Amino acid sequence: MTSMLKNMRRLLFTDDKTEPLLKLTKRDKPIKRFTERELIQLESQVGAKIFGKLPEGVRRREFFNLDLNTWIWHEEVVDEKGEIKEQTTKYEVQPRGILKIQPNYKYSYLEGAELHNFVLAVKNYYEQVSKRIYNQDPTTGKPI
Amino acid sequence: MNSSPFNTSVEAARKDALQAAEQVTPVSSYEGLTDYDVQMGRTQAENEARAKTLSRAATNPNAQGALIQEQASAKEAAAKDAEKWAEAVLHMAMLIEYMRRSAIDNSKKNQENVDLGEKS
């Protein structure tokens, strides 16, 4: 994973924009152009690691920013019977707060500790993807 | 006597009221009363009741009014907190969006450069 990120960073970002074209070889050629979806998938892998090691029974976890106003938390849990249960929670950013939307029409605005934890996770996500995927200093926005 | 549940309820409520009245902080003075009360024609009983209420609110921090005010302030603070954090989250999402767009543009440019390099 780390090497993949490093590779991607190297392919996506060139510190020296005046680098002669002849220096680019087939080896340096990006495998393909990255789409927004692919970048979100990469971010999601970083986002999943914000919360540490997966707890027992949790098979897969994703946390990512879908668009300006939407954050997604997705988890796949294996229950005692060995069945996989999926849970997706959508967090919608609204002017009056963060609306949590869960299956079966469960809606609630985040408050208290839950709100603060969510904001901390978002902050961590921003810092991690800035550094690890986009090669930028999260504080200054300048290339690392 | 009448065994109607309503009567019993009323009787129980009266009992509770009497007990509650006994627990009220004794009123040592009627400083809360002014000439205005007299002018308004409030009776002595009304004045005494009002003084008791004033005294209770002043000495009991859990008085209902204070509690309601406290709850309203907490609610207002929580609402402001939620607005502030929502704005912060939106701001971070905007920065992420910007980085994504730049990465997509850069990868596009890089590929174009590679294509040009290969042609030349």
User: Which among B89, B100, B116 has CB closest to A36?
Assistant: B100
User: Which among B85, B93, B107 has CB closest to A33?
Assistant: B107
- The predicted structure's pLDDT at residue A30: 42
User: Which among A11, A39, A122 has CB closest to B110?
Assistant: A11
8 Å CB contact of A36 and B78: no
8 Å CB contact of B83 and A95: yes
In chain A, which residues have pLDDT < 70?
1-32
- The predicted structure's pLDDT at residue A25: 46
Q: What is the pLDDT of residues B88-101, one digit of tens each?
A: 999 999 999 999 99
- For the cut 90, the answer to whether the pLDDT of residue B63 exceeds it is no
- The predicted structure's pLDDT at residue A101: 94
> Which of B75, B80, B85, B89 to probe by mutation at the A interface, max A CB count within 10 Å?
B89
Contacts of A13 in chain B (CB under 8 A): 103, 106
Among A121, A72, A77, CA closest to A101: A72
Neighbours of A106 (CB within 10 A): 9
CA distances from B12 to A51, B15, B22, B50, B73 (A): 56, 5, 15, 24, 35
- The predicted structure's pLDDT at residue A23: 44
Rg of chain B in Å (alpha carbons): 34
- Determine the 3-state secondary structure of A29 from DSSP: coil
Residue A21 DSSP one-character state: G
Please tell me which residue of chain A has the smallest CA distance to B115: A29
| Minimal CA separation from B101 to chain A, in Å | 8
- The predicted structure's pLDDT at residue B47: 64
* Residue predicted with more confidence, B119 or A97: A97
User: What dihedral do alpha carbons B56, B62, B68, B74 form, nearest 10°?
Assistant: 140
User: Which among B89, B103, B106 has CB closest to A93?
Assistant: B89
- The predicted structure's pLDDT at residue A52: 85
Mean pLDDT of B99-119: 83
* Residue predicted with more confidence, A98 or B68: A98
Q: Rounded to an integer, what distance in angstroms lies between the CA atom of residue B87 and that of residue B79?
A: 12
Contacts of B108 in chain A (CB under 8 A): 33
Q: What is the pLDDT of residues B6-52, one digit of tens each?
A: 344 545 555 655 555 455 444 333 444 455 544 455 556 666 666 67
Confidence of residue B71 (pLDDT cuts 50, 70, 90): confident
- The predicted structure's pLDDT at residue B42: 53
8 Å CB contact of A24 and B106: no
- The verdict on ipTM greater than 0.90 is no
